[in-house]
Structure 1
């Protein structure tokens, strides 16, 4: 929903909701008996997630002397809750490998084995100003402050909770030596809540990132075909990965560094005909280890 106060100022509001639920069951061999029978294990898993988010932005343009500004100020909030439940069946039927019967009824005596419920609330405020220092030189500065509260509940165990806050800055510079070429550089930091818990029930730490980027954008054919070439480095901490010892859970590694180059070409080469081509090279490496060997490239 948008509302324009005048030609220079407007307010924008967004809201989204997502509700999901999934369930699966599986049967797997556990052990062999008398070289003929296979003892089976039956399990059910259920996942559910409800998430709601919204934001309000104030967008405006104004001048301070000969300098033009494009201002963005806003507030956002999100709430997420999810659960994971795991149940096992008692004494499922055996499989006779010499006379297999695959029409065995589904067990109806599943017993809850594990469940956790996760709750997360996040608030953020942000401010950004794009400043036209010269006709061909633009400077962007901004930042946001986030507050996050997370809680994990596991039956018969103490509740795990965590509260975090962080300031994430962003700066950038764009220089246009000509009408068809733009040179840019940027620096930004991020703070992203990581939803879920470790196998021991402890809440995941938020993921933090730092990105550096430089690039050039040019019109190969003016107003028809353009290209962008960029190079970047991203450092991230507390990245969630599958637990190699327990595939039903995730764990967090220490730090990962990604370096890469991207090339994008696109435009309308003929009326009604658009072309898009892209190439990306990324070298990702674990630089600090919690669970993955340092130096492994992905």
Structure 2
């Protein structure tokens, strides 16, 4: 099952720390001595993504992975992709053309829902990496979860939760970082009570800002990101609070890197290492993103057993692309550059969610309820312009040229399509304590989706001037949790989901959805969560099977037609654990294996429908593992190492082209200057491994080489 000796060594080093609820993410001990180390594996801390009832991971009959602020800081995660790549079974990359690409449990892109503070934007391109500085925690639930978060999420749901004002009187956090390729960060966060007498404070404000800049490990590639988060917490009455949250992110990237052409004639992808850092994009290639969030959160405690929360939110984003995106070698060793593309996304989402929580008794048994209504309206306008222009350049010396000189795409933006999706939903969740040890968790959600698409381009039978689709999916979960002992439990669950047969809600075309129903997904999962060795260790394990049915495939008789007949099955196991080996040595590890394959899938090849039955989906690694070791040398000094293994992946549906597996190693040393100040030096990709974070067609999206960084952290 494991096909690489480096993975065997990686996991064998930590056999004492096996298992994860398919991943309750292992909270690392903070080494700077400024915070108390967390106990256990966060099995007994409330989570938001696996349930609406405020249950702990131990109480939830599902695989739930959590990385809180302590984990993010201990591992020096730069952005949200760093955070989720440390979670069990997740493999993510940030290729500009694929936004926040994620693969999990055998599924990719829109089949894994990425939420922001529990809000679903319905579009994977809206999930580009977020600066880790503004994140409070990230949570992951494995498998179908439409019953919690709406249409989508057959593979799982990832929830990025940002920092909010707290009732702390005054805190200050700051970070300065500098590393290879001029990678730098300046960040600070302030939490302040708004009162001359702190004891009388009723209003609390928080401000976080971060600026990241880097010249990039690829030639002529420069990126800058500004992130700002502001929130105001107000105690309006003893039982009524309001939180106003505003967040802004701006990304600018010059001459974005779209990948490296692979050497031809090989089934295993390989690049010319002498041209490892070459950028074949035009000199004025560009990617820009501006994102604005506004949330108004009202919490009302009606009684000790009943509470109501209302969240009103607005999202506004604009994304711009102008690039030359495809590269391949010619027979004489030159590089063919093609696929010029100009694009703008204008996306707005307005929504409101009201939720009632109530604890009572049902049939004399302890019972917890969550009932709610969800409404959102999303509008996205797209301005794509592509061209057939191409050129051939000598890779040893060439003029990258200008996008403005490429005919067919240099005339400016042209509006092509507008998608409007209105979603109305009602949901309910219940936990019933059947016996002292056995609990039943059930959930049900009904969605009413109304999609209207306006085509401003050429009208054809497959691209009408306007069309409307409506769906009414019903999804749910039923699960049992049994406490073997106070520190060990087992669970079993069945859950379902519904998602589009192709594309996403925010960008679906008539060809994507046609007259199709939504695709259906279902999962069976069993697992266990437990502490061991008198609390020195904790672990979780999960086994699952997911079947996704009725997604869009080519007709086996007429490849010019699309029918709804596809099916994919994913089976896997996920393990994670944490062990305080000695008072000074902490070990953490996670591992996931997935067997994902198409049961039915046809692809058009040169006008002929070809079956891909039995093939694996692209960019899905069968094995993914992580390992961390941290050793406290003295009260002020600590050191550590980490390793990450990602199995080989296929780059095409025919499974004839494969990107090789890779193992990355890292190391750090941390020194506490005083009770407020910590200095950390870190090396990433210690062996300077050449590897593909993502593979597609004839291109190899290379990961970062060996890098060094130094960071100064302040906390008052």
TM-score calculated relative to the size of structure 1: 0.77
Whether the 8 Å CA contact 2:481–2:490 is kept in 1: the answer is: yes
Partner of 2:478: 171
Hey, what's the Cα distance between the residues in 1 that align with 2:373 and 2:450?
17
Question: What is the SS of the residue equivalent to 1:297?
Answer: coil
Please report how far the alpha carbon of residue 167 of structure 1 lies from its aligned counterpart in structure 2 after TM superposition: 1.6
Hey, what's the Cα distance between the residues in 2 that align with 1:12 and 1:271?
43
Larger radius of gyration: 1
Q: 1:44 to 1:253 in 2, by over 3 A?
A: farther
Structure having the higher strand fraction is 1
Q: Which of the numbers 563, 568, 575 marks the counterpart of 1:256? A: 568
Hey, what's the Cα distance between the residues in 1 that align with 2:586 and 2:308?
33
Question: What is the SS of the residue equivalent to 1:151?
Answer: strand
Partner of 1:197: 508
Hey, what's the Cα distance between the residues in 2 that align with 1:231 and 1:198?
36
Q: Which of the numbers 607, 612, 616 marks the counterpart of 1:293? A: 612
Please report how far the alpha carbon of residue 64 of structure 1 lies from its aligned counterpart in structure 2 after TM superposition: 3.4
Q: 1:258 to 1:179 in 2, by over 3 A?
A: same
Please report how far the alpha carbon of residue 52 of structure 1 lies from its aligned counterpart in structure 2 after TM superposition: 3.1
1:181 aligned onto 2:478: no
1:148 aligned onto 2:449: yes
Structure having the higher helix fraction is 2
1:80-95 superposed matches below 5 A = 80-87=378-385
Hey, what's the Cα distance between the residues in 1 that align with 2:487 and 2:339?
66
Partner of 1:35: none
Hey, what's the Cα distance between the residues in 1 that align with 2:575 and 2:367?
30
Whether the 8 Å CA contact 2:343–2:413 is kept in 1: the answer is: no
Hey, what's the Cα distance between the residues in 2 that align with 1:40 and 1:177?
61
Q: 1:269 to 1:84 in 2, by over 3 A?
A: farther
Please report how far the alpha carbon of residue 153 of structure 1 lies from its aligned counterpart in structure 2 after TM superposition: 1.2
Hey, what's the Cα distance between the residues in 2 that align with 1:220 and 1:282?
27
1:206 aligned onto 2:206: no
Please report how far the alpha carbon of residue 171 of structure 1 lies from its aligned counterpart in structure 2 after TM superposition: 0.6
Q: Which of the numbers 38, 41, 54 marks the counterpart of 2:352? A: 54
After superposition, what is the alpha-carbon deviation per residue over 1:16-64, rounded to whole angstroms, capped at 9, x for unaligned? 33322222224589xxxxxxxx999865222232223331111111123
Higher relative contact order (CA closer than 8 Å, sequence separation 6+): 2
Whether the 8 Å CA contact 2:571–2:596 is kept in 1: the answer is: yes
1:110 aligned onto 2:407: no
After superposition, what is the alpha-carbon deviation per residue over 1:216-240, rounded to whole angstroms, capped at 9, x for unaligned? 1111134442211110111123668
Number of residue pairs matched?
278
Please report how far the alpha carbon of residue 131 of structure 1 lies from its aligned counterpart in structure 2 after TM superposition: 0.6
Q: 1:269 to 1:41 in 2, by over 3 A?
A: closer
After superposition, what is the alpha-carbon deviation per residue over 1:124-149, rounded to whole angstroms, capped at 9, x for unaligned? 11111111111111111221111101
Whether the 8 Å CA contact 1:87–1:114 is kept in 2: the answer is: no
TM-score calculated relative to the size of structure 2: 0.35
Whether the 8 Å CA contact 2:373–2:425 is kept in 1: the answer is: yes
Higher deviation after alignment, 116-125 or 193-202: 193-202
Partner of 1:123: 424
Please report how far the alpha carbon of residue 72 of structure 1 lies from its aligned counterpart in structure 2 after TM superposition: 0.9
Partner of 1:14: 311
Q: Which of the numbers 561, 585, 594 marks the counterpart of 1:282? A: 594
Higher deviation after alignment, 165-174 or 259-268: 259-268
Please report how far the alpha carbon of residue 287 of structure 1 lies from its aligned counterpart in structure 2 after TM superposition: 1.4
Please report how far the alpha carbon of residue 89 of structure 1 lies from its aligned counterpart in structure 2 after TM superposition: 7.9
Partner of 2:537: 225
Question: What is the SS of the residue equivalent to 1:110?
Answer: coil
Q: 1:283 to 1:252 in 2, by over 3 A?
A: farther
Partner of 1:73: 371
